[in-house]
Structure 1
Amino acid sequence: MINLENEYLKVSFASKGAELQSIKSKQNDKEYLWDGNPDFWAKHSPVLFPIVGGLKNNTYYFEDQKYQLSRHGFARDHEFQVTQVSTTEASFTFRHTPETLKIYPFKFSLKISYALKDNTLTCTYAVSNPDDTNGLLFSIGGHPAFALPATEQLKYSDYFLEFNTDDELVYHKIEGDLIDNETMTIKLTNKTLPLKHELFYEDALVFKNLKSNLISIKNTKNNHGLTFQFEQFPFFGIWAAKDADFVCLEPWCGIADGIDHNQDLKNKEGIIELAPGSEWQRKWSVVCF
């Protein structure tokens, strides 16, 4: 475990997957991250790389070659090299290997950095293409699960999401890990979405045109919660395992295959092409209160 700490928060990470494991407030002793209960979902905040979501038949084609990748890619299952810069900053790096090149024929360097400042944790993804001649095709996304604990005072339906811009949510349904063309619309009252377990019984809500860049998790019983901030992520998912007391807020640069996709990686919706020698960055942050 790698730990970072300041006067407001104490956070923990695993080197496997560079995965965030805990966000604990030192002000109110509240744990903001899901505990990874395997009866529901054994992860906390995996990185999705080099794909987001599922591929049709777990298969893609690149330059007439057939490859297979499981849902959300492989980075979350690999050990990252750890570099701890200070008590409030840490970074983790994962690079291509002979094994990854067999299923994903691209050289890459993925660096995930975390930084604490006051009551805010920021996560930065930096993808580099070390190849001298070939472009790098990839997608990446976050999958942090935030705890919505049931207590004598609080139940899941007391929590709600508050969006800074959207008055309605237009989402795509998921069919067999793929994105359906059909959309559904949820009208919001005062830009808020009340949470209920039934929202996620048919998998995640997937958005291609979310306007908001701030989503707060609040409840009707007290003033504690968090604000999730993200920029330049064109896709977004909201999900929870069936009847589990958490909600995932998932900023994505990339998306699962559509049901009509031809499986050519170059034509995959949301795929990013990074030129040789180039670097690409995105970040999201959590403000706890």
Structure 2
Amino acid sequence: MFTIENEYLGVSINLKGAELTSLFHKDSQIEYMWSADPNFWAKSSPVLFPIVGGLKENIYVFEGKVYNLPRHGFARDHIFEVEDHWDDGISFLLRSDENTLKVYPFDFEFRLVYELYANLLSVTYHVTNLGENDMYFSLGGHPAFAVPFQKDLTYEDFYLEFEHEENFQRWGLSDQGLVLEAPEPLFEAKIIDEEAVEIETNRILLTKELFQQDALVFKELQSTNVTLKSDKSKHSLKFDFAGFPFLGVWAAKNADFVCIEPWCGIADSVNHTQELTEKEGINVLAAGDVFERAWAVKLN
């Protein structure tokens, strides 16, 4: 386990998967990360690479060859190396090797950089294409934040407040975790003058029933940040996901956490061809180029 800290925050990251395990606010003495209780979900913030979500039949096709990858890829199960470590920051590195090449035929370097700026944690992904041809990949985050923050509050006291009002068209998932063909509104429409009108709101109230049909999956939201908060607490968490075209919100059944998941990529659709180059949201990186995205969480 590796740690970084400053006057405001203390952060711990596991070498396996370069996984964020603790985000501690020193002034309030609040731990904001989920405890990874195996009775519900034994993860706290897995890294998603080189795919996000599941593949149709767990396979993809590239240049006529069939490959197998588990849901969310392999990075979360690999041991990263520490490339650099300073008081309030740390850089982790995963390189392609003979084992990754068997399931993912691209030479790469994948870096995760955690940095603290006062009461804000920034998490930056860097993907470098070391090959001679285009590289196809997806990546994303899966941080799970503890809810409630304080013992005297309940899960239902909290809500997600988005930057802008949204109509929250949710893309459902099949039993195999594949994206369905059409979205459905998260909220039932209002009836105005005998006509159904889509609800636009910037809030999603947290309930344990909200995730009974798996994750809430959104595409191309207007908002680029969301705040996890309660009207009964002065403490909150603001999550910035600018640059990520997809967002997942999820919790395990009856668990006291919520995942806010910024994605550059998405699970296969139910009617996907399984060709990697035709996958929705796939990123294409030219030889020698570097892809960079970052999300950040600010504690108040």
2:230 to 196, 210, 219: 219
2:282 to 257, 264, 271: 271
Give the corresponding residue for 2:209: 198
Contact between 1:178 and 1:257, CA under 8 Å: does it hold in 2?
A: yes
Give the corresponding residue for 2:271: 260
Deviations, residues 107-147 of structure 1 (Å, cap 9, x unaligned): 1110000000100000000000011x211110000000000
| Amino acid paired to 1:137 | Y
Q: Alignment partner of 2:253: what SS? A: coil
The count of corresponding residues between Structure 1 and Structure 2 is 288
What is the 5 A alignment of 1:135-146?
135-146=134-145
For residues 186 and 102 of structure 1, the distance between their equivalents in structure 2, rounded to whole angstroms, comes to 40
Contact between 1:149 and 1:245, CA under 8 Å: does it hold in 2?
A: yes
My pick for the range that moved more, 17-26 or 150-159, is 150-159
Give the corresponding residue for 1:168: 167
| Amino acid paired to 1:16 | K
Cα 1:153–1:56 shift into 2, 3 Å: same
Q: Alignment partner of 1:24: what SS? A: strand
Give the corresponding residue for 1:281: 292
Deviation at 1:86, TM superposition (A): 1.2
Deviation at 1:190, TM superposition (A): 5.3
Deviation at 1:168, TM superposition (A): 2.2
| Amino acid paired to 2:47 | V
Q: Alignment partner of 2:182: what SS? A: strand
Deviations, residues 160-212 of structure 1 (Å, cap 9, x unaligned): 00001133211100002100013121356751111001110110011112111
What is the 5 A alignment of 1:1-289?
1-131=1-131, 133-149=132-148, 153-175=152-174, 176-187=176-187, 191-289=202-300
For residues 198 and 213 of structure 1, the distance between their equivalents in structure 2, rounded to whole angstroms, comes to 25
**TM-score relative to the length of structure 1:** 0.97
Contact between 1:24 and 1:32, CA under 8 Å: does it hold in 2?
A: yes
My pick for the range that moved more, 151-160 or 264-273, is 151-160
For residues 158 and 266 of structure 1, the distance between their equivalents in structure 2, rounded to whole angstroms, comes to 43
My pick for the range that moved more, 165-174 or 57-66, is 165-174
Contact between 2:30 and 2:149, CA under 8 Å: does it hold in 1?
A: no
Structure 2: stretches of 5+ with no match in the other structure: 188-198
For residues 213 and 222 of structure 1, the distance between their equivalents in structure 2, rounded to whole angstroms, comes to 23
Give the corresponding residue for 2:191: none
For residues 150 and 229 of structure 1, the distance between their equivalents in structure 2, rounded to whole angstroms, comes to 19
Alpha-carbon RMSD across the aligned residues, in angstroms, is 1.2
Deviation at 1:83, TM superposition (A): 2.8
Contact between 1:52 and 1:71, CA under 8 Å: does it hold in 2?
A: yes
Contact between 1:150 and 1:245, CA under 8 Å: does it hold in 2?
A: no
For residues 216 and 207 of structure 2, the distance between their equivalents in structure 1, rounded to whole angstroms, comes to 13
For residues 179 and 229 of structure 1, the distance between their equivalents in structure 2, rounded to whole angstroms, comes to 24
Deviations, residues 58-95 of structure 1 (Å, cap 9, x unaligned): 01100110111010000000000113431001000001
Deviations, residues 30-56 of structure 1 (Å, cap 9, x unaligned): 001101000000001011000000000
For residues 26 and 151 of structure 2, the distance between their equivalents in structure 1, rounded to whole angstroms, comes to 22
Q: Alignment partner of 2:152: what SS? A: coil
Deviations, residues 142-165 of structure 1 (Å, cap 9, x unaligned): 000000038662111100000011
Deviations, residues 221-260 of structure 1 (Å, cap 9, x unaligned): 1111100001111111000000101000000000000000
- Which contiguous aligned blocks of 4+ residues in structure 1 show a shift greater than 6 angstroms? none
Q: Alignment partner of 1:257: what SS? A: coil
Q: Alignment partner of 1:134: what SS? A: coil
Q: Alignment partner of 1:164: what SS? A: strand
Contact between 1:153 and 1:221, CA under 8 Å: does it hold in 2?
A: no
Aligned identity (percent) is: 48
Structure 1: stretches of 5+ with no match in the other structure: none
For residues 244 and 278 of structure 2, the distance between their equivalents in structure 1, rounded to whole angstroms, comes to 19
